[in-house]
Chains A and B, each alone.
Chain A
Amino acid sequence: MLGLETDRDDWRTLSGLLDQVLDLPAEDRSAWIERLPLQYAHLRNRIRSLLAAADAIAGGGFLHTIPKVDSGMTPIAADEDGLQPGDLVGPYRVIRKLADGGMGAVWLAERADGLVNRPVALKLPRGAWLGAALAERMAEEREILAALNHPHIARLYDAGVASDGQPYLALEYVAGQPIDEFVTSRALSIRDRLQLFLQVTRAVSHAHAHLIVHRDLKPSNILVTDEGEVKLLDFGIAKLLGEGREGGSVTQTARLLTPDYASPEQIAGDALGVATDVYSGGVLLFELLTGVRPYAACGSSRVALQQAVLTLEPPRPSEAATRAPVRRLLRGDLDCIVGKAIRKRPDERYATIDAFAGDIERYLQNRPVLARQDSKWYRLSKGVVRHRIAVAAIVAVFVAIAAGAALATWQARVALIEKDRAEEVRNFLVTLLKDTSPYSGGGRALSALDWLKQARRRIDQRPDLRPELRVELLNLVGASLVNMQDTAGADEVLSQAVAEAAQHLGNAHHQTLRARVLMLSVHRFRGRTAEMRAELAQLLPALRAAGRPLSEDLAIALKNHAHLEIDEGHYHEAERAAQEAVDVSRRELGEHHPETVAALLIRAYAYQFSRDAGEALAAAVNAYDAARVVYRDAPRHPRTIEGRLVYGRALGDAGELTIGVQQLTQAVRDAAEVFGGSSRMVGFFSIPLADFQAETGLVEDAIESSRNALAIIAQHTRPTSFRYAAALRQRGVALLAARRTEEALPDLTAARETLRHTLSASNSVTRWFEADLGLALARAGHHHQAEALLEPLLPADGAAPNPSESKALYVAGVQKRLAGHPAEALRLQRRALAAIDSGRSGELRRMRVLTEIGLALLDLERPNEAITPLEQALTISTQSQLRGGPDRDDILNGLSRARYVPDRGRTVAVPAVQ
């Protein structure tokens, strides 16, 4: 095939050239091609050969319209493939057709080359193949799906696209009956049916461990062989074919699913997850046990069924079953188990398929089933939700019980709850308090906060409670408030906790330590860095000494330590702290503990400063994925949003600016939606967003984002805090990027002042800010001030510059050029360039330095030499997806100047690229 192997940029160049040459009259074209400058020489032949066809085409006739299509004599139905037994599709030879559904046909097939002698079920999707990039998706997903190797899952052996464009999926051929027919035709007992179902759950669990959700579990997808082995079909095929992808699937797509097995969230088009499979599994179990489907009584109209799934409470299995002995057996535990699986709200179901299977196993072993006690709390909490006031009363009950205080008024309730459940009650309280976050309540952030405030008031009203319990509860409330971004509230509550703990429990008590650890975040958010450092100095050794019981606290403290070090520019210390946090969490808390995710996130963030872009990106991907796994049922959990932020920044640093900006924008959007548009998180996230927007040339957006960030952060911290200075600096940088230098100056000056006071003058972050200021001063023409500022920032001659020094070199170079000393500027920029080449990749920094080199050479009246660096800069700007902006303008203007060829008073227009 002709050079359609050309890449995008080559084509753009070529296309531009073609436009120009086609505009010329035919007789001038040859000469024009000859005169193409050197950098287009390699394209000359291509242009010539393409033009050779021009005349033929201009005459009309070639590809004027599609050729005649012979309809053939047989009516070709929209769903016929025209395949015959013996035909080849890819490497397979089809034998006979097994089935034909709307989305495609399935054929029994075998490998044509006889390499492997086994029958496969060849699935040939139809029509969808021109939808979004099926081939690319297949390449992506095939690795994952092919790795799904489990005795109860029909293997995906192969996936590909045949030479005529027909995609194919080669699956393990399974001869068996659908599971519902199997259990009915053999009249299996309840126990046997449950055992069969457990096979299904094992298969699903295996896939979930590989992050694959089935999404389409139903009897026709679950076959049972004669030997009683279950085989799940079509795992992940739904995703491969793009049906109902995760996160916001479309109603249209949901319409393609049978509503009998579709979960409420699938019908409503909400986010899907592990819980979706739990639901379908529950419906399946319902049918296996009773012989009917949960909403069978609602008729067969699609709409009615959908409505039922969304809003009606299904009958209990024991009620739906038709035969009396079956009803007796189902009543009680099995009712509860199935009921818990098919709850409307995903967060009320079994959290994992393993939990579901676990309860079934307990039932089979005649052990108490968890679903039953859950149903009690379920009823309780349902009552709780209806009457907000009652919540406080419940808290009081728990508190009383946990405290062991047998107050007369609570005695009746206490009696209801067995003594050995007291521990569980407390745990329930702990979970209820700790996990109150906006997303899990479906956006009821306000009521959760009120709830916490109520809880806190209740604690205040009970001075008779044991001090240890009081502090523990205060800690819980405080931690929840931190999670929910209510810094002021958390400050109050935790300060109280610390005070009471110090007074009543002593400094070594673990609740005291916990309170102080939780306070660390508050100190950080409020900019109280000195206090934070002092606390860390005392807390870390104490926590390390305490060992396993306080591992979670140690991890949190280390995380805060890492954050602090990053803020202050001590990146290697940050990395060390983060690494220790990761190690401790992994070892003591486990891979899937929320604190491990937090540790991975902070480490990835640290890497963005201490390692090169490749390593940083790898760590960011790692952390983001971990967050998505652990919080897979809550796509807008603060940690997932944080993960997206870290990931977006890493992408940007690695040169993928457009995607980086997309991810950051999404993170900001999510944070705004979950916590409100003026929440602290939105303010913080808007800073790196502004940074990248400025880098990609979206200068107006950058100014907007940074303004927003500053406004928000001003509400949360003091103007003398580092956070505020960072936001101020970002606005200044954005304005500077837009070349609104006069406006940028005050911001950058103020930011630098703050830093000189809060950090030291020799701190790398301070120097970074000073370089920004230097650039502004230079552009504004205050050369003396700029020189004075920049001089001490420069590295000694011959020394290898660190990042802030190489930035200073660049800025100093700009200043020299603007002040009219191009030779000096050139020398500085060349040093800057050498530094960038050998360090952490920063393509855009290179681009800017190259631009400056070009401009300096132009000022030195050496235009021919200027062309190369300027064109290199241009290439980088295109590759980095720069969307215009002053930096790009500089390059283009420079190139125009360089190419101006005075020739008999006429400018020969040499093709400008794009």
Chain B
Amino acid sequence: MCSLTQLIHRAQLGDAEAADALYASTYPDLCRLARVRLRACSRHTLLDTGALVHESFVRFAESNQLRLEDRTHFMRWASRVMRSVIVDFARRRLAVRRGGGAARVTFDVELAAGPEGALEILGVHHALGQMATIDPRLTQVVEMRYFAGLTEPEIAQALGVTERTVRRDWFKARLILRQALA
């Protein structure tokens, strides 16, 4: 029963409801995967989001909720979800600092250095929110590159453009973001 396939297809056509439902199914999965991955490694993990997204797809495909042909579409949606997961992490990271509950924090050099990472993530997230109405494709490229860690060929395939376009988009996006985050 490829219900997720239908959802992706409808979400693609702009059905906001299908998008929400799709979101609701994939978010917990990716979140869980991310957590497991984080726990497995020691404290500072470069979160390999690309691998996570792929792994998530494989799981859905194995449980017959997605067909292999849906991979490309799934990547676009998973990137959005991944963005949400990362941003949530970043927010919580800041909240932990804000709340200041002593028992939770270990005094670690990196921690004491400040939550720049989390702030950068949130900054990009906010900038993307504004960018979305102005240039949706650019926003997607950033989502897929920055948050979901997909490669340029993968992004090109998912969006139906050339790799050169992806590279150029990514470049332009960073020009803007650099100013935005300054």
Chain B associates with chain A: yes
Measured CB to CB, the residues of A under 8 A from B are 1-2, 4, 6-8, 11-12, 15, 18-19, 22, 49-51, 53-54, 56-58, 62-63, 65-78, 80-84, 87, 127-133, 164-166, 241-245, 248-253, 256
Kindly identify which residue among A81, A130, A252 contacts B21, using a CB–CB cutoff of 8 Å. A252
Q: Closest Cβ of chain B: how far from A61's Cβ, in Å? A: 10
- B94 to nearest A CB, angstroms? 7
CB contacts (< 8 Å) of A249 on chain B: these are: 17
Question: Considering only CB atoms, which chain A residue lies closest to B133 in the complex?
Answer: A8
Instruction: List residues of chain A with CB within 8 A of the CB of B45.
Output: 68-69, 71
- Taken residue by residue from 134 to 168, chain B's Cβ proximity to chain A (1 for < 8 Å, 0 otherwise) reads as 11000000000011010000000000000000001
A253 B21 Cβ-Cβ under 8 A: yes
Q: Name the 7 nearest CB pairs between A and B, nearest first.
A: A67-B117, A82-B95, A132-B16, A252-B21, A82-B92, A84-B99, A71-B38
Number of interface residues of B (CB under 8 A): 79
Q: Secondary structure of the A side of the interface?
A: loop
- Is there contact, CB below 8 Å, between B120 and A2? no
Select which of B25, B35, B171, B178 is within 8 A of A78 by beta carbon: B35
**Nearest-Cβ distance from residue B129 to partner chain A, whole angstroms:** 8
Tell whether, in the assembled complex, residue B35 and residue A76 are in contact, meaning their CB atoms are under 8 Å apart: yes
B130 and A252 contacting across the interface, CB-CB below 8 Å: no
Is B58 an interface residue, CB under 8 A from the partner?
A: no
A543 to chain B, nearest CB (A): 47
Bound CA span A87–B176, Å: 33
**Taking A19-B168, A164-B122 as contacts, is the C-beta distance between A131 and B20 under 8 angstroms?**
yes
For B17, B23, B83, B92, which residue has the most chain A Cβ atoms within 10 angstroms?
B17
Bound state CA distance, A253 and B23, in angstroms?
Answer: 11
Whether B147 and A66, one on each chain, are in contact in the complex, defined by CB atoms closer than 8 angstroms, is yes
CA distance A84 to B98 in the complex (A): 9
Mask: chain B, 1-33; 1 = CB below 8 Å from A; 0 = not = 001000100100000111111111101100110
| A250 cross-chain contacts in B, Cβ below 8 A | 7, 10, 17-18, 21
Q: With an 8 A cutoff between CB atoms, is B60 at the interface?
A: no
Contacting residues, chain A, for B17 (C-beta < 8 A): 132, 242, 244-245, 248-250, 253
Q: Which residues of chain B from 47 to 61 have any CB-CB distance to chain A below 8 Å in the complex?
A: 47, 49
B168 touches A81 (CB 8 A): no
Q: List 29 A-B contacts (CB under 8 A).
A: A1-B126, A2-B179, A4-B127, A4-B180, A11-B134, A51-B175, A58-B171, A63-B178, A66-B86, A66-B149, A67-B116, A68-B46, A69-B117, A69-B121, A70-B117, A72-B93, A72-B96, A72-B105, A76-B92, A81-B92, A127-B24, A128-B20, A130-B23, A131-B19, A165-B122, A245-B17, A252-B7, A253-B20, A253-B21
A570 to chain B, nearest CB (A): 41
A68 lies within 8 A of B3 (CB): no
Q: Look across to chain B and name the residue whose beta carbon is closest to the beta carbon of A130.
A: B84
**One of B3, B87, B120 near A252 (C-beta < 8 A):** B3
Judging by beta carbons under 8 Å apart, are B99 and A87 in contact? yes
Bound complex: CA A577 to CA B10 (Å): 44
Contact in complex: A53, B146 (CB < 8 Å): no
Supply 19 further A-B pairs (C-beta < 8 A) apart from A69-B90, A250-B17: A2-B182, A7-B134, A57-B175, A65-B146, A69-B38, A69-B121, A70-B110, A70-B117, A73-B106, A83-B95, A127-B23, A128-B20, A130-B80, A130-B83, A130-B87, A165-B125, A242-B17, A248-B17, A250-B10
Say if the beta carbon of B111 comes within 8 Å of chain A: yes
- Chain A residues lying within 8 Å of B46, measured Cβ to Cβ, are 65, 68
Cα distance A130–B47 in the bound complex, in angstroms? 20
Q: Which residues of A contact B118 (CB under 8 A)?
A: 69
In the bound complex, residues from chain A placing their C-beta under 8 Å from that of B127 are 1, 4
With beta carbons under 8 angstroms apart, the residue of A19, A56, A130 that contacts B178 is A56
Complex Cα spacing A868 to B93, Å: 54
A433 to B23, CA, bound (A): 47
The minimal Cβ–Cβ distance linking A88 to chain B, given in whole angstroms, is 9
Most buried by B among A78, A84, A129: A78
Query: In the complex, what residues of B have CB within 8 A of residue A87's CB?
Result: 95, 98-99
